[in-house]
Amino acid sequence: MPGPWKTHVDADSWEPMELAGEIVGEVHSLRSDDGERPYEAGLWRVLGDRPAPFAYDFEQNETIHVLEGAVVIDVDGGPTLELGEGDVASFAAGSRAVWRISRTPFRELFVLS
């Protein structure tokens, strides 16, 4: 039986997260699986300057928990979410949104399913 997996919000190993040729923060993977139902869990952060607003396509169902900072997420055909520390949101696969980091440092836990 694989796992369990453990990490910390201040993990040492982070990789740049790039969307459409722009770096929008750093990601730390907790768990990923390339099987029939791929899923991933990890952390995403923006520590310094806020990136420009960026479009994000939810290729899988995704649930996020904001650990620090704040973000505004404009969901196409849906609401505008203002999320801060402690807020949790879930998005359906196929959704599209524009993200605007409104307060840094920003950190979130994400789970794809």
Residue type at 40 in one-letter notation:
E
Statement: residue 34 has pLDDT above 70: no
Q: Where are the domains of the chain?
A: 16-112
Statement: residue 89 has pLDDT above 60: yes
Q: Whole-model pTM?
A: 0.91
Instruction: Yes or no: say if 31 and 75 are a contact pair by the CB < 8 Å rule.
Output: no
Burial of 37 per CB tally in 10 Å (0-12, 13-18, 19+): exposed
Say which CATH architecture domain 16-112 belongs to.
Answer: Sandwich (2.60)
Q: What are the structure tokens assigned to 50, written together?
A: 């806020």
Residues 6+ apart with CB under 8 A from 41: 5, 29, 30, 31, 32, 109, 110, 111, 112
Q: For the segment 48-66, what is each residue's pLDDT rounded down to a tens digit?
A: 889 999 999 999 999 999 9
For residue 84, what is the DSSP state?
Answer: E
